[in-house]
Structure 1
Amino acid sequence: MALILLRHTRPDVDAGTCYGRRDVGLAATFAEEAEALLSQLPAFDRVVTSPLSRCRRLADYIAGQTSRSVTEDDRLGEMDFGCWEGWAWSALPREEVDAWANDFLHARPHGGESVAMLRARALEALDAYRKLEGDTLIVTHGGVIKAALAMDETAESHATTLDFGSFVTLND
């Protein structure tokens, strides 16, 4: 069964802002982005979403256009960056960013989640959806998609970039 991992559309937040679990809205271009995206999506049987509104709004739109219901799954939420939430990446204390870089998988200098914690919950969720009949559209975040695509636990393996409103399909 295929998992279609869709990153939410462009958020209404300044570029370069760390916003992880912060519930930011979507840009004024949401309607145009969502409409363009809809025609590109492969067929799916169900819609699952992160509970954050930037994903839920897109999931609700897609579900409404395809006569599907939406299921929320907290495990699909973005990484919790703790006290870094809402700060510009460039304004974060250098020693904290260095600590994170030196132990990418396990460091939590911000007091939120480690990459390992995000990875564990995301992979647990994806494994559960792989076991279902049919294909699942999962509206989620860049961090979850990076965890799903990472071949190992290195920072380099998690360096995948995916534009807002883009998706990848994972086939078993």
Structure 2
Amino acid sequence: MEIYLVRHTETVCEKGICYGQSDVGLREDYRQLFADIKAQLPSNAVYYSSPLQRCTLLADYLSGSNYSTDARLMEMHFGDWELQKWDLIAPEELNPWMEDFVNVPVPNGESFVDLHARVLDFIETELQNRSQPIVIVTHAGVIRSLLCKITNLPLAEAFTNKVDFGQVIRVEVN
């Protein structure tokens, strides 16, 4: 099965802001970027999207409004850190998570294991026995989680997968 993992384009958030599941908008220069992304995708694909607007705007454009949203494709829930500057998060909160983001949840949020469990549930329930190509419009954390599963990469090494804004990653899954 052919899967295209598409990360949303840049958000309106300034650099250094933790925005996870906050429903933030996209920078205004996205229309040409959307066209460039669409040119990389097959015309006969089935589309799935995170329900956050930074993904649904792109999914709507790419699919001609023919896509399904799924909350399991949302970015990691950063709980108390949502919309906070990373460098202003108290070290006593941030450091334990930075040392073991895989297992340590953010205060009132998720760990990477939690996100990964959502993503695996999505794969197992939605992507079985598909013959058409699949396009998943989502976030860097979800894409990294999917790539860990597909390539058998340990979750602790998820950030070795660089995922740029607007990037399309094509994978083959049996």
Assess same fold via TM > 0.5.
yes
1:107 to 104, 107, 114: 104
Aligned partner of 1:33 in structure 2 is 33
Aligned partner of 2:135 in structure 1 is 137
Matched, 1:126 2:123: yes
Q: Which runs of 5+ in 1 are unaligned?
A: none
Segment of structure 1 superposing worse, 113-122 or 126-135: 126-135
1:83 to 80, 85, 91: 80
Aligned partner of 1:149 in structure 2 is 147
Aligned partner of 1:74 in structure 2 is 71
Asked if 2 retains the 8 angstrom alpha-carbon contact of 1:24 and 1:54, the reply is: yes
Output the CA distance in 2 between the equivalents of 1:28 and 1:50. Answer: 20
Aligned partner of 1:56 in structure 2 is 56
SS in 1 for 2:35: helix
Residues 27-53 of structure 1 show CA distances to partners (whole Å, capped at 9, x for unaligned) of: 011111111221122444211100000
Segment of structure 1 superposing worse, 55-64 or 29-38: 29-38
SS in 1 for 2:136: strand
Output the CA distance in 1 between the equivalents of 2:2 and 2:107. Answer: 35
Write out aligned runs for 1:6-25 (5 A).
6-25=6-25
What's the TM-score, normalizing by structure 1?
0.91
Count of residues in correspondence between the two structures: 169
1:96 to 93, 101, 122: 93
What's the TM-score, normalizing by structure 2?
0.90
CA RMSD of aligned residues (A): 1.6
Identity %: 36
SS in 1 for 2:68: strand
Asked if 1 retains the 8 angstrom alpha-carbon contact of 2:22 and 2:83, the reply is: yes
How far the C-alpha of 1:110 sits from its partner, in A, is 2.2
Segment of structure 1 superposing worse, 102-111 or 69-78: 102-111
Residues 116-163 of structure 1 show CA distances to partners (whole Å, capped at 9, x for unaligned) of: 010011122123314322111110000000111123444223432211
Asked if 1 retains the 8 angstrom alpha-carbon contact of 2:51 and 2:70, the reply is: yes
Per the alignment, do residues 44 and 143 of structure 1 end up closer, same or farther by CA in structure 2, a change over 3 Å counting?
farther
SS in 2 for 1:139: strand
SS in 2 for 1:48: strand
Q: Which runs of 5+ in 2 are unaligned?
A: none
How far the C-alpha of 1:168 sits from its partner, in A, is 1.1
Aligned partner of 2:170 in structure 1 is 169
Aligned partner of 1:4 in structure 2 is 4
Output the CA distance in 2 between the equivalents of 1:2 and 1:44. Answer: 11
